[in-house]
Amino acid sequence: MDDAVLIQRARQGDLDAFNRLVLAYQDRLYTQAYRVMGEQGAAEDATQEAFISAYRKLHTYRGGSFQAWLLRIVTNACYDELRRRKRKPVSSLEPRDQQGEEIESPGWMVDPGELPEETLQKKELAAAIQRCLDQLSTDFRMVVLLVDVQGLDYRQAAQVIEKPMGTVKSRLARARLRMQDCLQQFGELLPFSFRLKEEAPV
Beta-bridge partners for 104: none
Is residue 14 left, alpha or beta, with left meaning phi > 0 and alpha meaning psi from -120 to 50?
beta
- Enumerate the β-bridge partners of residue 102: 96
Please pick, from the candidates 113, 116, 191, 201, the single residue that binds another protein as defined by CB under 8 A.
191
Binding-residue total with another protein (CB under 8 A): 48
What is the full DSSP assignment across 87-135? HS-----S-B-TTSPBPS-GGGGS-GGGS-HHHHHHHHHHHHHHHHHHH
Q: Please pick, from the candidates 6, 71, 146, 147, the single residue that binds another protein as defined by CB under 8 A.
A: 147
Q: Which residues share a beta bridge with 77?
A: none
CA 190 to chain centre: 20
Please select the residue that binds another protein; options are 61, 66, 79, 154, rule is CB under 8 A: 154
Q: Mark the segment that binds another protein (CB under 8 A) among 46-54, 61-69, 79-87, 107-115.
A: 46-54
Contact 18, 10 (CB under 8 A): yes
Q: Which is nearer to another protein, 96 or 180 (CB)?
A: 180
**DSSP secondary structure code for residue 39 in this structure:** S
> Around Cβ 151, how many Cβ atoms within 10 Å?
10
**Residue span 159-178 as binding mask against another protein, x where in contact by CB under 8 A, dash where not:** ----------xx-xxx-xx-
Give the contact letters, 57-96, x = binds to another protein (CB under 8 A), - = no: ----------------------------------------
Residue 8 within binding range of another protein, rule CB under 8 A:
no
Could you list the residues that contact another protein (CB under 8 A)?
Answer: 15, 18-19, 22-23, 26-31, 34-35, 40, 44, 47-48, 51-52, 55-56, 122, 125-126, 129-130, 133, 144, 147-149, 153-154, 169-170, 172-174, 176-177, 179-180, 183, 190-191, 193-194, 197
